[in-house]
């Protein structure tokens, strides 16, 4: 019974990791950009929500809806003025630019918000739980997992049911030919990164609601997110969700055995999956 | 011909300056202060780490964000040799380097499955695994780490000799020994890199970086070459890591496997100095040291400045400061190119008669 409970808690944790990973998966799928600053941008979004909360006294959920457009614009600007300039055949410049951005973001946050741990005060909802059969599930973790499903579903709808999604896929397939159809890849990329940062904002909301955060935790979140993306298979959004769940469940079981083994178990699951399936569980893209 | 003559003389001038510099650096522990020796030690060790990373990312196309794994393993194994098995710390350094190299083999087996950018994440995850495993090593203090017993470095190989020779305290003599080792390591790394890159294998490596298909078609095995470079660089990085922690005398999983200290700084040094060039990391290490002196009191500002500088270099001058210098002056201290022979019509030499 305790193992089943661990499994359920792991799945709920995996929902959070899937949210971390969804934005990365989107950006990688469309422009093959590996954004090493993604973790720090999630933390940045958490501070934006925190800032809005403390300035206006709003509930974090409402503050997050205000933060969404802010982060979209930020992502759009980042892509237009920074990432678009370095995207190309050579993978080194975008990697190093996003790595630099990661270090800059982290230290700017340290400079402005100090290294103190923060938390988003969610109010009464924080302590509430629902009882489902033998399990007692926290409302916030449940909402996290629900949001992860919703985000992945929405992104899939966007990808396969809208004109913008068609532009995304076409640009992903052939960056040169789409220009003959009146699509500007750079503008498509800017929108994609904007959307990715909106997803990151949602992830930040639940990150801050679930646990403490401080400016230095970004890189670890980035690792979990990337592990989820790679386990899921590149270019598959549902795969990313599955990858997040794998990492979450592995971490929960590791922690159940020995609290010090939580992170290690997640990494080992990642290595194990890749040894068995080098291209992840549900590979779609060919690279 | 006149241009090549002046280039040649500029080159011999460059070499003369380099020789004087090296002799000056050897003399630092004799004539300089202990603080200077320690400062230069950290610059030199960072330079070796940078040369290793440059070899991986700049020449082999392997952008590793997991170099801290090798530094940490080198350091931990050196501590184990000294504390648990009673060996001389310098023997421990060697064993640490070998241990890092051995670890790099399964790591390569795993990380080489990941293409391009995902290789970076794979190495980072493996390094994190190494950190977490090291923090389970209870004999070496687990998560809180451990220190070298007091006086360990006093009896270290060469230290009593240097102590008598320079007539200094044991601690200063230990600093001098580790400093000379770091200097030797830096010079060896530079020489080996240069010779390797000028060799047939090095040419193959650069060919793979520049055009994979073309390189394959002339019979180069990219994976084997890259794996070789990866393991050798793990050895160099492990040696350096162990040496650094003799100087620090205390090891913790957080410090020994720090991604900022052993990988981020190193990446910025190489990028700012000029990735894919040999003098680039040297220049980068100097800039890094100058920035550190200038901004050391403002820890976070210093990192922000480094990050912005790195981004700016990638946007405006991909081959870094050294690339700018060679572009402006046409002068390259350690050229790696294989220039084709000059066309006959442009030379003044008599055309040899064909028989």
Fill in the DSSP letter of residue A125. G
List of residues 6+ apart from A35 with CB closer than 8 A: A24, A27, A28, A41, A83, A98, A196
C-alpha to C-alpha distance for B264 and B120, rounded to whole angstroms: 12
DSSP state of B250: E
Is the per-residue pLDDT at B345 higher than 70? no
In the predicted structure, residue A99 carries a pLDDT above the cut 70: yes
For residue B166, is pLDDT > 90? Answer: no
In-domain check, residue B169:
yes
Q: Quick one: B316 and B221 in the same domain? A: no
Q: Which of the listed residues B257, B289, B323 is the one where a domain comes to its end?
A: B257
Between chains, do B310 and A96 touch, taking CB under 8 Å as contact? yes
Q: Is residue B351 part of a domain?
A: no
Q: Minimal CA–CA distance to A106: which of A220, A208, A203, A215?
A: A215
First to last CA, chain A: 41
pLDDT at B255 over 60: yes
Per-residue b/e over B280-318, b at no fewer than 16 CB within 10 Å?
Answer: bbbbbbbbbbebbeebeeeebebbbbbbebbbebbeeeb
> Within chain A, how many helices (H) and strands (E) appear?
11, 2
> What angle in degrees, to the nearest 10, is found between the helix axes of A185-210 and A163-173?
110
> Hey, which residues does A136 pair with through a beta bridge?
A131
Residue-number span of the structural domain to which B233 is assigned: 56-257
Both B127 and B269 in one domain: the answer is no
Dihedral pair phi/psi, residue B65, rounded to 5°: -110, 20
For residue B117, the chain A residues in CB contact (below 8 A) are 32, 34, 91, 94-95
- Inter-CA distances, B210 with B45, B204, B215, Å: 29, 10, 8
Q: What count of CB pairs under 8 Å joins A to B?
A: 116
Give the closest-approach CA distance of A3 to chain B in angstroms: 24
Pairwise CB contact (< 8 Å): A107 & B303: yes
Question: Do both B191 and B69 map to the same domain?
Answer: yes
> Is residue B139 domain-resident?
yes
B243, B311: one domain? no
In a domain, B173, yes or no: yes
**Domain-embedded: residue B355:** no
CA distance A38 to B44: 32
Question: pLDDT at residue B349 above 60?
Answer: no
In which band, very low, low, confident or very high, does the pLDDT at A275 lie, cut at 50, 70 and 90?
confident
A6 pLDDT above the threshold of 50: yes
Long-range contacts of A108-111 (CB under 8 A, 24+ apart): A108/B300, A108/B304, A109/A40, A109/A43, A109/A44, A109/A47, A109/A215, A110/A215, A110/A216, A110/B300, A111/B300, A111/B301, A111/B304
* Same domain, yes or no: B223 and B307: no
What residues of A are in contact with residue B135 (Cβ under 8 Å)?
260
Residue B309 and residue B161 in one domain: no
Q: B311 and A82 in contact by Cβ < 8 A?
A: yes
A210 CB-side CA count, 13 A: 21
For residues B322 and B176, state if they share a domain: no
Our CA angle for A276, A280, A281, nearest 5°, is 90
Average pLDDT rounded to a whole number, residues B12-32: 87
Q: Which of A16-25, B37-46, B141-150 has the lowest mean pLDDT?
A: B141-150
- The pair of structure tokens assigned to A86 is 């370095």
Same-domain status, B186 and B316: no
3-state secondary structure of A136: strand
Q: Phi then psi for B275, rounded to 5 degrees?
A: -70, 145
| Chain B interface, best mutation among A104, A222, A246, by max B CB count within 10 A | A104
Domains detected in chain A:
2-118+133-276 (1.10.3470)
The pLDDT value given to residue B344: 57
What does the alpha-carbon distance between residue B215 and residue A258 come to, in Å, rounded to a whole number? 49
Rounded Cα distance between B66 and B88, Å, is 28
Closest Cα to residue B172, out of B21, B44, B36?
A: B36
A 10 A CB-CB count for A58 gives 15
Which of B240, B257, B274 is the endpoint of a domain?
B257
| pLDDT above 50 (res B54) | yes
Nearest one of A179, A236, A231 to A29, comparing CA atoms: A236
Q: Collapse the DSSP code of B92 into the 3-class scheme (helix H, G, I; strand E, B; otherwise coil) and give the result.
A: helix
> Are residues B226 and B304 both part of a single domain?
no
B101 vs B30: which has the higher pLDDT:
B101
Any domain includes B42: no
User: Is residue B40 included in any domain, yes or no?
Assistant: no
Q: How confident is the model at residue B170 (pLDDT cuts 50, 70, 90)?
A: confident
pLDDT above 50 (res B1): no
Give CA–CA dist B240/B234, Å, rounded.
10
* 8 A C-beta contact, residue B298 and residue B166: no
Whether residues B131 and B272 fall in one domain: no
Above 50 in pLDDT, residue B3? no
Which residue has 């300089």 as its token pair? B32
pLDDT at A236: 87
Beta bridge partners of B251: B146
Residue-wise pLDDT for A185-210, tens only, equals: 999 999 999 999 999 999 999 999 98
Q: Which residues of chain A approach chain B closer than 8 Å at the C-beta? A: 32, 34, 36, 82, 85-86, 91-97, 99-104, 106-108, 110-111, 219, 223, 226-227, 230, 234, 260-261, 263-264, 267-268, 270-271, 274-275, 278, 287
β-partners of residue A52 are none
Which residues of chain A neighbour B68 with C-beta distances below 8 Å?
none
Please tell me the total count of domains within chain B.
2
Measure the CA–CA gap between B331 and B325, rounded to whole angstroms: 8
Name the average pLDDT for chain B. Answer: 87
To which residue do tokens 């003959």 refer?
Answer: A180
Band the pLDDT of B88: cuts 50, 70, 90: very high
**Among residues B230, B257, B284, which one ends one of the domains?**
B257
Element (H, E) at B332: none
Assigned domain for B312 exists: yes
Beta bridge partner(s), residue A129: A138
**Confidence class for position B293, pLDDT limits 50, 70, 90:** confident
Give me the pLDDT at residue B163, please.
86
**Residues in A touching B116 (Cβ below 8 Å):** 34, 91, 287
Question: Mean pLDDT score of chain A, rounded to an integer?
Answer: 91
Confidence class of residue B153 from pLDDT cuts 50, 70 and 90?
Answer: confident
* B241 in the same domain as B116: yes
Mutate to test the interface with A, among B123, B126, B132 (most CBs of A within 10 A): B132
Residue B337: pLDDT band (50, 70, 90) is: low
pLDDT band at B350 (very low <50, low <70, confident <90, very high): low
8 A C-beta contact, residue A245 and residue A18: yes
d(CA A59, CA A125) in angstroms, rounded, equals 11
The 3 state secondary structure assigned to A47-110 is HHHHHHHHHHCCCHHHHHHHHHHHHHHHHHHHHHHHHHHHCCCCCHHHHHHHHHHHHHHHHHHH
Residue B343 has pLDDT above 80, yes or no: no
> Does the interface predicted TM-score (ipTM) exceed 0.95?
no
Please say if the pLDDT value at position B155 is more than 90. Answer: no
CA–CA gap between residue A127 and residue A226 (Å, rounded):
30
Nearest Cα to Cα of residue B93 among B107, B104, B109, B79: B79
Q: What per-residue confidence (pLDDT) applies to B2? A: 44
Range with the poorest average pLDDT among A102-111, A275-284, B58-67, B241-250:
A275-284
- Do residues B129 and B70 share a domain? yes
Considering chain A, what percentage of its residues have pLDDT values greater than 70? 98
Question: b/e for A156-170, b at 16 or more Cβ within 10 A?
Answer: eeebeeeeeeebbbb
* B262 vs A104: CA distance, rounded Å: 17
pLDDT digits (tens, 9 = 90+) for A42-95: 999 999 999 999 999 889 999 999 999 999 999 999 999 999 999 888 888 898
Q: Please state, for a pLDDT cut of 90, what percent of chain A lies above it.
A: 69
User: CA A264, CA A250: separation in Å to the nearest integer?
Assistant: 9
């Amino acid at each position: 019974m305790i193992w089943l409970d661990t499994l359920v808690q792991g799945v709920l944790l995996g929902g959070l990791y899937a949210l971390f990973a969804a934005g990365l998966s989107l950006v990688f799928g469309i422009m093959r950009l590996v954004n090493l600053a993604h973790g720090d941008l999630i933390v940045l979004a958490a501070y934006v929500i925190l800032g809005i909360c403390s300035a206006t006294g709003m509930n974090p959920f409402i503050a997050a809806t205000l933060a969404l457009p802010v982060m979209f614009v930020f992502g759009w600007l980042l892509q237009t003025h920074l990432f678009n300039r370095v995207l190309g055949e050579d993978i080194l410049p975008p990697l190093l630019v996003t790595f630099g951005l990661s270090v800059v973001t982290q230290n700017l946050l340290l400079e402005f918000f100090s290294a103190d741990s923060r938390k988003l005060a969610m109010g009464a909802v924080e302590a509430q739980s629902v009882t489902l059969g033998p399990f007692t599930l926290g409302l916030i973790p449940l909402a996290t997992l629900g949001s992860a499903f919703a985000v992945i579903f929405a992104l899939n709808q966007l990808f396969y049911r809208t004109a913008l999604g068609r532009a995304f896929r076409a640009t992903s397939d052939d960056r040169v030919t789409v220009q003959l159809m009146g699509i500007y890849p750079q503008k498509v990329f800017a929108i994609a990164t904007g959307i990715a940062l909106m997803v990151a904002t949602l992830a930040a909301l639940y990150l801050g609601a679930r646990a403490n955060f401080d400016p230095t935790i970004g890189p670890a979140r980035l690792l979990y997110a990337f592990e989820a993306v790679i386990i899921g298979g590149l270019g598959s959004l549902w795969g990313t969700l599955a990858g997040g769940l794998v990492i979450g469940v592995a971490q929960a079981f590791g922690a159940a055995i020995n609290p010090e083994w939580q992170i290690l178990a997640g990494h080992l699951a990642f290595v194990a999956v890749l040894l068995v399936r080098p291209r992840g569980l549900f590979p779609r893209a060919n690279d | 011909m006149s241009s090549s003559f002046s280039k040649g003389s500029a080159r011999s001038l460059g070499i003369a300056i380099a020789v004087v510099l090296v002799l000056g650096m050897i003399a630092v522990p004799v004539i300089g202060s202990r603080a200077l020796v320690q400062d230069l030690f950290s610059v030199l060790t960072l330079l070796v780490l940078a040369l290793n990373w440059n070899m991986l990312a700049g020449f082999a196309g392997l952008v590793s964000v997991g170099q801290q794994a090798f530094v940490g393993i080198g350091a931990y194994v050196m501590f184990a040799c000294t504390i648990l098995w009673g060996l001389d710390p310098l023997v421990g350094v060697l064993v640490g380097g070998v241990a890092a190299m051995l670890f790099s083999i399964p790591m390569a087996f795993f990380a080489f499955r990941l293409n391009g950018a995902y290789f970076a994440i794979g190495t980072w995850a493996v390094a994190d695994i190494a950190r977490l495993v090291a923090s389970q090593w209870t004999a070496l203090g687990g998560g809180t780490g451990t220190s070298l017993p007091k006086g360990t470095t006093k009896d270290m190989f060469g230290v009593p000799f240097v102590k008598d020779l320079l007539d200094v305290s044991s601690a200063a003599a230990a600093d001098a020994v580790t400093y000379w080792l770091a200097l030797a390591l830096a010079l060896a790394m530079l020489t080996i890199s240069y010779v390797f890159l000028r060799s047939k294998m090095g040419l193959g490596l650069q060919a793979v970086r520049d055009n994979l298909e073309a390189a394959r078609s002339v019979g180069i095995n990219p994976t084997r070459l890259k794996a070789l470079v990866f393991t050798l660089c793990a050895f160099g990085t492990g040696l350096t890591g162990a040496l650094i922690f003799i100087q620090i005398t205390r090891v913790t999983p957080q410090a020994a496997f720090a991604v900022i200290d052993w990988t981020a700084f190193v990446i910025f040094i190489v990028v700012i100095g000029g990735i894919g060039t040999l003098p680039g990391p040297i220049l980068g290490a100097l800039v890094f040291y100058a920035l550190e002196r200038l901004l050391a009191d403002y820890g976070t500002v210093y990192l922000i400045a480094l990050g912005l500088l790195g981004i700016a270099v990638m946007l405006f001058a991909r081959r870094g400061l050294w690339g700018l210098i060679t572009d402006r002056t046409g002068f390259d201290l350690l050229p790696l190119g294989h220039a084709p022979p000059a066309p006959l019509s442009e030379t003044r030499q008599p055309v040899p008669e064909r028989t």
